[in-house]
Amino acid sequence: MNHVALIAGMGPDAGADTLARFLRACRRELQAAGRPINDQAYPHHVLVQHPIADRSAALLQGGASPVPGLVGAVGVAKAAGARTLGIACNTAHFWHGELQALFPDLEILHIADETARAVHRSGARTCAVLATAATQRGGLFRRALAAHGLDTVAQSPGDEEAVHRAIFAIKAGRPEEGGPPLRAMLEQLLDRVDSVVLGCTELGLVIDADPFAGRVVDAASELANALAAKAYGTYPTHTSPSPQPTEQP
Amino acid sequence: MNHVALIAGMGPDAGADTLARFLRACRRELQAAGRPINDQAYPHHVLVQHPIADRSAALLQGGASPVPGLVGAVGVAKAAGARTLGIACNTAHFWHGELQALFPDLEILHIADETARAVHRSGARTCAVLATAATQRGGLFRRALAAHGLDTVAQSPGDEEAVHRAIFAIKAGRPEEGGPPLRAMLEQLLDRVDSVVLGCTELGLVIDADPFAGRVVDAASELANALAAKAYGTYPTHTSPSPQPTEQP
C-alpha cells in the first residue's frame, strides 16, 4: 500500500471530516476487493495540521501568503513517508502548481480535477458551484469543469458573498448560523442546474450530499476517494482531459 | 502553543473521532480564553496512523506485539515536532510505560489516568467500565480508578465477552451490529453504579456520552481534552494521585 497524507487545518474540522471520508473510502476499497475490514487493513497515513494563513484573504485582500504554512505541512507529510497527498481545502488549490513544483517527487492530487471527473461521470451537463468568493472569482471549478465540456452557471455577486459569509461562520465555530443559508442556496441551484458542486471542505459539515443521489458532488469526498484509490493502487488511468493550470484571481 | 499528536489507527475511525473531539476541546479552550475561533487559532498537530498489530490478540493470545508499530508512529510524531502525544486506543496503554521509556523527551498522556481524574471530579463513588476483554482483565481502569478511591464493579465473563465482540464488530465496519448490545449494556450498568467509563475508543462511535450528564465518561473525550489543554498550556497541576504502572494481563 502507498503511504498517503492529508494536509489539513483549513479549517481543522473540515480536515478531520475529510479524514473520515477517506476512511469510509478505504472501507469501500476493501469491500470491493473482498478483503476483511480490520484495524490493520488501512494504509499508512498522516494528517498534518499547521496554522496556515487564510487563503481567501491572501487572494482577495493581499493578506499573508499561505505558501510557507503549506510547504511546512507538505514537508512534514513527506518526512513521514507519504508519497501521495491531498489538500483538504479547495481555495488552497490556487497554489497547487507552486507546491507540486516544490515537491516534484510527491504526487499532490488536485481537488477540482477529481471533482470535475466525478461530475462528468454523473452525466450532468450544467453545474453550479458553492465555494468561497476567491474560489469562484478565480474560476477554480469553472475551468476544471469546462475541461470536461461542462457549463458552470454563475451566481450573483450577492449570492456569492452570502455563501462566503456562511462558510466563514462555520470556520468560526457557528455551523448553526452557516448551515441554513447554504442549504437554501443549494435547493435554489438544484432547480436551475443538473449538478451542484460543494467546492469548499467546510460545506460537508452542514450539507450531506448522499440523499441527493449524485446531483450534489462534494469535492471533499472526491478527494478522499482519489486518495484511498492511490493508497490501494486502484486509481484509474484517466482518458479524459485534466483541467488547465489555474491562475489566481 | 505546544505541538501535539494523536497516534491513531486503533481503529482508524476511532482515531478520526478522537481527532474531532480534540478539535471541539480546542474550541472550548479558545472560548474560555475569550479568543476568536478561526483556522489559525488551532495548535500544530499531526495524526499518525500506521497499521499496528492487534493489541487484544497480543495480550490474550500471544499474537504479534504492537510495539514496533507504535514506536514507528510515535517516531513520526516526534519528527513532525510533537512534544505531547495521545494514543487513541485504550488497550494500547498496556505498553504506555514501555513507549514513554523509549521516548523520554516526549510526554505521552495516559488515557486511563485522565479518565480516572474526570470520574473522580464527577463525584461518583462506584463505577463500571465498558472495554475490550484485555483492558478489563489487565485492570487498566480498575487500577487507575482505585488510585482515586473509586470502586469498579466487575462484569460477568459472559457480559465482558459480549462487549468485546461488539467492539470488534465496530472495527469490522459493522457499527449497526455492535451498537445495540453496547447501549443495552450501558443502561444495565447505569442501574447499578454512579458512573460508567467508555474505556475503548470505538465506543464513542455508537454511544454519545453527552445526554448522560456526567454519568458516562468517554475516555476518548478525556484524552482529547487533556491534549488540547497541553497544546494551549492550560493543563492543570494535579494534586490527586496518578495510578500505578499497569501490568499486562
Asked if B4-109+223-232 and B112-219 have one fold, the answer is yes
Which of B168, B173, B204, B172 lies closest to B186 in space, CA to CA? B204
- Residue B248 is predicted with a pLDDT of 72
Compare CB distances from A23 to B16, B36, B40 and report the shortest one's residue: B16
Whether residue A195 contacts residue A119, with contact meaning beta carbons closer than 8 Å, is answered with yes
Fold of A4-110+223-232: Rossmann fold (3.40.50)
Interchain proximity A37–B173, CB inside 8 Å = yes
Average pLDDT, chain A: 95
- Residue A95 is predicted with a pLDDT of 98
Buried b / exposed e along A91-130 (16+ C-beta atoms within 10 A): bbbbbbeebbeeeeebbbbbbbbbbbbbbbebebeebbbb
Q: What angle do the packed helices A12-32 and B12-32 form, to 10 degrees?
A: 170
Tell me the pLDDT tens digit for each residue of B138-150.
Answer: 999 999 999 999 9
- Residue A238 is predicted with a pLDDT of 77
Tell me the pLDDT tens digit for each residue of A184-212.
Answer: 999 999 999 999 999 999 999 999 999 99
- Residue A1 is predicted with a pLDDT of 85
Residues of chain B neighbouring A37 (CB-CB closer than 8 A): 171-173
Which of A148, A142, A131, A129 lies closest to A59 in space, CA to CA? A131
Interchain proximity B79–A81, CB inside 8 Å = no
The helix (H) or strand (E) run that includes residue B54 is none
In CATH, the number for domain B112-219 is 3.40.50.1860
Buried b / exposed e along B198-230 (16+ C-beta atoms within 10 A): bbbbbbbbbbebeeeeebbbbbbbbbbbbbbbb
Which of B6, B244, B233, B248 lies closest to B116 in space, CA to CA? B244
Compare CB distances from A13 to B10, B23, B76 and report the shortest one's residue: B23
* % of residues, chain B, pLDDT over 90: 94
Residue that is written with C-alpha cell 438544484 in the block: A190
- Residue B241 is predicted with a pLDDT of 60
For residue A239, pLDDT beyond 70: no
- Residue B213 is predicted with a pLDDT of 84
Cell digits for B73? 508512529
Query: pLDDT band at B4, cuts 50/70/90?
Result: very high
Domain residue ranges in chain A: 4-110+223-232, 112-219
For residue B87, the Cα-to-chain-centroid distance in whole angstroms is 7
Fold of B4-109+223-232: Rossmann fold (3.40.50)
